Structure 1
Amino acid sequence: MLKKRNNLLLIGFWLIVSATFAQQQQATDAAPRKKEIKKESKYKFPLLNGLVVGVDLYSPVANLFGQKYGNYEASLELNMYNRFFPTWEIGIGRADNKPEDMNFTYVGKVALYNRIGVNYNFRYNSDGPGTFFIGLRYGFSSFKYDITDITIESPYWETKYDNLSITGQKSRAQWIEVLGGIRVRLYKDLMMGWTIRYKWLIKAKDNADSSPWFIPGYGNRGSSLGITYSIYYKFPLGKKKNNKENIVPKK
């Protein structure tokens, strides 16, 4: 009799527990889902936002006004989020100039140079016509040069030696540049901009009888400042984000 009673109690207990769980499950299913929140994307532009090709016009214009040396270059930039711009600059440098207050003519043969680095755009989420950026470059070049029309005077002997030459000189150089600039939109994806560069010469190979006065890509060895004025065109790679918000369930 006692055993039968205990079995009845156990059956009743399990019926009560099962009913309780069933009610809780129904309440959970019937309860309204928690409100979803929306998280705004950090960037208005896609990761691959375009390729930017540029051509520097500063040296060609300076040559028109009498400068007899210069760098002639083009650049390629990958636009990432409109914020980061990995950059490759490639060009040629040449010189045929008699430096002021010097007793020689420096002839730098046409030589290739490269600069690699990155730009950072402070106005990366702006649709405005202007941007402001800073950047860093590492530059390197190998080149040849001649020093001609050397004039040496000897006050003691009152003798003047003209037309001496040192030819077939070879050198190579490396340098770092920190730069800042502005860029404005002229029409759609066509842009123009100024860049000011501060340069540190890491190393330049000197020869037994001479030192390079002009370094392709760096410029006049005695100057630490440089300027470029360029025209740019952007080739789009991705569509601009329509600023839709990503839906993230609230925990």
Structure 2
Amino acid sequence: MTRIFCYISLLSSILLSVAAMAQNKPTATKPDSLHKTIKADTTHKMVADTAKKLIVPHIDSSWYIPGGIRVGLDLSRIVSAIYYPYRKEVTVVADARINSNLYAAFEGGFTSTPYSDTSYTYKGSGAFVTLGVDYNFLKRQYPSEKNMFYTGIRYGFSHFSYEVPSYTIKNTYWGDHLTGSLPKTNVNAHWIELVVGLKAEIFKNFFMGWNLRERILINNVKTDEMTPLVIPGFGNGSKGAVFDVQYTVSYVIPFYRIKEHTPKVEVKQKKIPKR
């Protein structure tokens, strides 16, 4: 009897254990929870992909500005001929646009200096050329504006000749005169010019302007016999530095354009906070 009771107790314990294990079986994941988990991971990936697309290396915009060669005349030589009748000079001025504010500058001309008085007769003539650059400091109001406020530097070269066909030296004490002549002399002159000026567009492609310049002679052109009266393109031959003023009229031949770029703007990548 006792043995039967033990068997029944053992069998009851086994059944109760099986029932407890069945009740503790893991619950299946709900479809909503699984969908939420997948959705959260996908959203994070989409944010990362979008951030990569927002990385822009730079923004580069460009447009064209008018270029061309500007050619004109120096009208101040007409005025100087009134005060110095012996100085007959024609000067052509020109520049060519290199980029937004930089211009290559050129001048050239011819000078003739016939002079005579009671003491001597002088004849001189020659050609000159200057080469340099101008930089425009005037901020443009619109891309096609061509007005200029500029400074520049030039190198000048002149090849000329002069002679004194006759001269007379009067001796007031003895009352006699010494006459003679000086042969033709060929001379090269070199100088540097510093320029500041303004050019304004009065009509389409037509400009008027003025500039101030200081010329500094590099080499000595004086001789023991005679100092040249005028150095073509420079001025007074007896001075080492001269100040001059120019008034110019010019016209631009716009046969080319220059591409201009805006400065590159770097866009920094935004950091995505770690989760």
For residue 68 of structure 1, the aligned residue among 86, 104, 112 is 86
Residue from 166, 171, 176 that aligns with 1:159: 176
Q: Please list every run of 5 or more consecutive structure 1 residues that lacks an aligned counterpart in the other structure.
A: 1-18
What's 2:189 paired with?
173
| CA apart distance, 1:70 | 3.6
* Counterpart secondary structure, 2:81: helix
Matches within 5 A, 1:190-209: 190-209=206-225
How has the CA–CA distance of structure 1 residues 215 and 104 changed in structure 2, closer, same or farther, with 3 Å as cutoff?
same
The answer for the alignment partner of 1:120 in structure 2 is 135
The letter of the residue matching 1:190 is: F
Q: Partner of 1:204: helix, strand, or coil?
A: coil
| One of 16, 29, 38 as aligned partner of 2:49 | 29
Structure 2 residue 152 is matched with structure 1 residue 132: no
1:245 CA displacement: 8.4
Number of residue-to-residue matches in the alignment: 224
Q: Does 2:253 match 1:238? A: no
Contact 2:166 2:182 in 1 (8 A): no
Give the drift of 1:202. 0.8
Name the structure where helix makes up a greater proportion of residues: 2
Q: How far is 1:35 from its partner? A: 7.5
- Displacement after TM superposition at 1:139 (Å): 0.5
| Residues 1:145 and 2:162 are matched in the alignment | yes
2:234 is the counterpart of 1:215? no
State the 1:175 CA deviation: 0.7
Distance 1:30 1:134, change over 3 A: closer
User: Deviations along 1:99-149, whole A, 9 cap, x unmatched?
Assistant: 8xx94332112x221101111211042456853211111101111111244
Partner SS state of residue 233, structure 2: coil
Between 1:191-200 and 1:206-215, the stretch displaced more is 206-215
Highest Rg: 1 or 2? Answer: 2
Consecutive unaligned residues in structure 2, runs of 5 or more: 1-37, 270-275
Task: Within 5 Å, give how 1:181-192 maps onto structure 2.
Answer: 181-192=197-208
Q: Do 2:221 and 2:237's aligned partners in 1 also have CA atoms closer than 8 Å? A: no
Provide the alpha-carbon RMSD of the alignment.
3.5
Q: 1:230 to 1:30 in 2, by over 3 A?
A: closer
- Percent of paired sites with the same residue: 25
Distance 2:68 2:250 in 1: 12
Rounded to whole Å, the distance in 2 between the matches of 1:175 and 1:31 is 62
Structure number having the greater strand percentage:
1
Contact 1:36 1:247 in 2 (8 A): no
Pair 1:124–1:112, CA change in 2 (3 A): farther
Conserved? CA contact 1:96–1:106, under 8 Å: yes
Q: What SS does the corresponding residue of 1:63 show, helix, strand or coil?
A: helix
The answer to whether the 8 A contact 1:171-1:206 is kept is no
Cα separation, 2, equivalents of 1:149 and 1:62: 26
- TM-score between the two structures when normalised by the length of structure 2: 0.67
CA distance in 2, matches of 1:228, 1:70: 15
Kept in 1: contact 2:227–2:238 (CA 8 A): no
CA distance in 2, matches of 1:30, 1:58: 67
Q: Distance in 2 between matches of 1:129 and 1:85?
A: 12
Cα offset, 1:97, TM superposition = 2.4
